[in-house]
């Protein structure tokens, strides 16, 4: 079945970056089709397609496209690094270009296709003041008043980073939501557990706000390096080993955080009119 055979149907693509998986909907030139109920229905891995995040591509006057991100629970996300890389790859393949810009709530992000096929995105400068994370009260974001003394920053969405001896020891399904919903985070938070291996390598596991345990997270990877550098634990360029694979992150002094990794286009599909009607 093709999308043009059913005007009420909706075409989509399924992509992932290191197992961090996304549904991508290209709505350029028309109204945004997404709402919270539909996002939740699509996210259902039994009755829908399933995703960590859903990215809607919209037209934009000042960049190549604007992105709106939805979490699996029907909430929106201000940033999603791996989804940004996936969409950038999709649009660069479509246009034959190796560079473009995408607008998110973080602003306009520069994206590039590298010779080895990986995609790099400049995720912008991190925000580290307690108001910008945001936190509920004025505290030192380098060491929060929580058990384990995590660090916090924002990459367009809030992040809380724990540095631990063994990243595989914490039970993400219990510790993740405990931290995500802590009153210190009025907008909830993403959570990372990081085992620093050396100055340029770390093992990372992630609990994503509004999603749960995920194999990888681009914005979390950026936050990990930022908080590790602030703690003096790592250099400004590192390889992070996530459950889904390796990603390269660099934070040049005075610049934005650069995130580089592979992407995969998995399949193309069409949501039927019946599914869309039931979901809405």
Active site residues: 80
208 is in an annotated binding site: yes
Taking CA atoms, 157 is separated from 97, 102, 120, 128, 235, in Å, by: 29, 17, 19, 11, 23
The encoded tokens of residue 7 equal 């005007």
157 is in an annotated binding site: yes
218 is in an annotated binding site: yes
236 is in an annotated binding site: no
20 is in an annotated binding site: yes
What is the length of the chain?
280
255 is in an annotated binding site: no
SS3 171: coil
261 is in an annotated binding site: no
192 is in an annotated binding site: no
Neighbours of 244 (CB within 10 A): 20
190 is in an annotated binding site: yes
End-to-end distance of the chain based on CA atoms, in angstroms? 21
Q: What whole-number distance in Å separates Cα of residue 131 and Cα of residue 280?
A: 36
- Whether residue 264 contacts residue 126, with contact meaning beta carbons closer than 8 Å, is answered with no
The encoded tokens of residue 111 equal 């994206």
Binding residues for substrate: 20, 53, 71, 81-82, 157, 190, 208-209, 218-219
Binding residues: 20, 53, 71, 81-82, 157, 190, 208-209, 218-219
């Amino acid at each position: 079945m093709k999308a043009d055979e059913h005007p009420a149907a909706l075409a989509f693509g399924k992509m992932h970056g290191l197992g961090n998986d996304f549904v991508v909907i290209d709505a350029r030139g028309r109204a945004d089709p997404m709402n919270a109920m539909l996002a939740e229905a699509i996210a259902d891995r039994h009755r829908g397609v399933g995703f960590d995040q859903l990215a809607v591509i919209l037209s934009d006057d000042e960049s190549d496209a604007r992105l709106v991100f939805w979490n699996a629970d029907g909430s929106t996300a201000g940033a999603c690094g791996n989804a940004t890389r996936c969409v950038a790859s999709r649009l660069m393949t479509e246009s034959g270009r190796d560079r473009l810009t995408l607008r998110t709530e973080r602003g306009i992000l520069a994206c590039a296709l590298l010779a080895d096929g990986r995609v790099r995105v400049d995720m912008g400068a991190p925000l580290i003041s307690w108001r910008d994370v945001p936190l509920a009260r004025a505290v030192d974001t380098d060491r929060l008043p929580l058990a384990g003394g995590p660090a916090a920053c924002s990459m367009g969405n809030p992040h809380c980073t724990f540095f631990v001896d063994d990243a595989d020891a914490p039970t993400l399904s219990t510790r993740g939501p405990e931290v995500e919903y802590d009153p210190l985070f009025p907008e909830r938070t993403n959570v990372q557990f990081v085992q620093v291996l050396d100055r340029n390598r770390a093992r990372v596991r992630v609990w994503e706000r509004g999603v749960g345990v995920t194999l990888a997270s681009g914005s979390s990877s950026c936050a990990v390096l930022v908080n590790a550098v602030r703690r003096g634990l790592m250099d400004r360029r590192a390889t992070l080993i996530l459950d889904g694979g390796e990603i390269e992150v660099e934070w040049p002094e005075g610049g934005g955080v650069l995130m580089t990794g592979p992407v995969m286009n998995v399949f193309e599909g069409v949501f039927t009119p019946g599914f869309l009607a039931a979901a809405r």
